[in-house]
């Protein structure tokens, strides 16, 4: 029986996307409490010192095997962490595991010039800066002024000194600075159905097929711009918190068509079991073979749903 917080059409779509053997777990994840994940901000302090301070708050952190600076705590302990001085001064950052994973997939390094193309509120950008050891250059882009100010404030609080924030439409960046960045993160605005919570009507009333179509149009412009801004040999990570193939596999296929073979999909090693490869088709849509390299993270008690696709660039933009 389908829960009331998922409409008939939405539930049918989710079943077609993840499969009948996975849909029950997906729907349960919308209703069940999730652990709280957080990241030690290594710009502010070492993992060993900071985690000792976290334990002094009376919480019981468990390490995340695939990310040294990431930890989990039970949901009932969340407020002790979020209302602590450690959160206020940027020593720790509460962030979803799927989002933490994204930065580890991109793998930015010190002394690179990197880009976060849709950056607010700054969780991934600050993680990128930490992985870069706060050395190099990090350009961060946000098109909405209040969100840009919040982004800049967050990065300052988290001790990021290598970033420069730009108020602009990310779809214009590739033409403005072609072939520039070593790594590009594009966590694209999306219909956000991974954030549905059964106890929050606003979270599930936001989703609609119209919203999916609107976001997909924007995402196609953003991914082409992101790729244009990437150096040959660099790495682009495209991700969303949507289940919808129109916002995921279809956008990957659009990039492959738009770049005429210059975009090469890269494999993504998955250090956990709750994932599926990209799907080859959805209803009337057929996708490029490149989607087989993509990964859809399935939600559970620790993760929100997430889609990731990674690419490299073979040669400079043909117009540059």
Instruction: State how far the alpha carbon of 314 is from the alpha carbons of 22, 100, 264, 301, in Å.
Output: 37, 27, 7, 39
Task: Consult the annotation and say whether 123 binds a ligand.
Answer: yes
* 176 is annotated as contributing to ligand binding: no
Residue 107 Ramachandran class (φ > 0 left, ψ -120 to 50 alpha, else beta): left
Rounded (10°) CA dihedral 225, 231, 234, 238: 0
Q: Please indicate if the annotation marks 120 as binding a ligand.
A: yes
In angstroms, rounded to a whole number, what is the distance separating the alpha carbons of residues 170 and 232?
20
Q: List alpha helices for the chain, DSSP H.
A: 8-18, 23-31, 47-55, 78-82, 85-88, 97-106, 123-131, 145-157, 173-176, 201-205, 209-229, 249-259
**276 burial type by CB count under 10 A (0-12 exposed, 13-18 middle, 19+ buried):** middle
Is 67 noted as a catalytic residue in this protein?
no
25 is in an annotated binding site: no
The whole-angstrom separation of Cα 40 and Cα 90 is 9
Q: Is 65 annotated as a binding residue?
A: no
To the question of whether residue 169 is assigned a binding role by annotation, the answer is yes
How far apart, in whole angstroms, are the C-alpha atoms of residue 20 and residue 266?
28
89 is in an annotated binding site: no
Region at 307 (left for phi over 0; alpha for psi -120 to 50; beta for the rest) = beta
Contact 156, 134 (CB under 8 A): no
Q: Is 214 annotated as a binding residue?
A: no
Contact between residue 158 and residue 41 where contact means Cβ atoms under 8 Å apart: yes
**What are the catalytic residues?**
241
Binding-site residue ranges for S-adenosyl-L-methionine: 118-124, 142, 169, 187
Binding-site residue ranges: 118-124, 142, 169, 187
């Amino acid at each position: 029986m389908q829960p009331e917080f998922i409409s008939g059409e939405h539930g049918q779509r989710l079943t077609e996307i993840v499969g009948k053997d996975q849909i029950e777990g997906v729907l349960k994840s919308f209703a069940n409490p999730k652990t709280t994940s957080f990241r030690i901000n290594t710009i502010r302090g070492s993992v060993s010192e900071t985690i000792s301070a976290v334990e002094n708050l009376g919480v019981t952190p468990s390490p995340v095997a695939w990310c040294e600076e990431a930890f989990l705590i039970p949901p009932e302990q969340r407020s002790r962490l979020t209302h602590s001085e450690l959160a206020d001064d940027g020593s720790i950052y509460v962030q979803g595991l799927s989002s933490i994973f994204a930065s580890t997939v991109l793998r930015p390094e010190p002394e690179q010039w990197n880009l976060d193309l849709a950056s607010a509120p700054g969780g991934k950008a600050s993680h990128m800066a930490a992985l870069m050891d706060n050395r190099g250059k990090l350009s961060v882009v946000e098109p909405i002024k209040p969100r840009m100010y919040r982004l800049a404030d967050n990065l300052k609080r988290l001790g990021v000194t290598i970033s420069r924030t730009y108020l602009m439409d990310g779809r214009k960046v590739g033409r403005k600075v072609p072939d520039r960045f070593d790594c590009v993160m594009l966590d694209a605005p999306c219909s956000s159905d991974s954030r549905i919570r059964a106890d929050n009507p606003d979270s599930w009333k936001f989703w609609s097929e119209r919203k999916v179509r609107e976001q997909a149009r924007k995402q196609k412009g953003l991914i082409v711009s992101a790729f244009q801004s990437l150096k040959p040999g660099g790495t682009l990570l495209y991700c969303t918190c949507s289940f919808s193939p129109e916002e995921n596999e279809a956008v990957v296929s659009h990039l492959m068509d738009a770049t005429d073979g210059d975009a090469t999909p890269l494999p993504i090693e998955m250090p956990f079991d709750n994932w599926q490869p990209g799907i080859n088709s959805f209803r009337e849509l057929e996708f490029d073979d490149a989607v087989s390299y993509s990964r859809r993270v399935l939600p559970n008690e620790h993760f929100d749903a997430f889609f990731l696709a990674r690419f490299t660039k073979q040669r400079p933009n043909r117009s540059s």
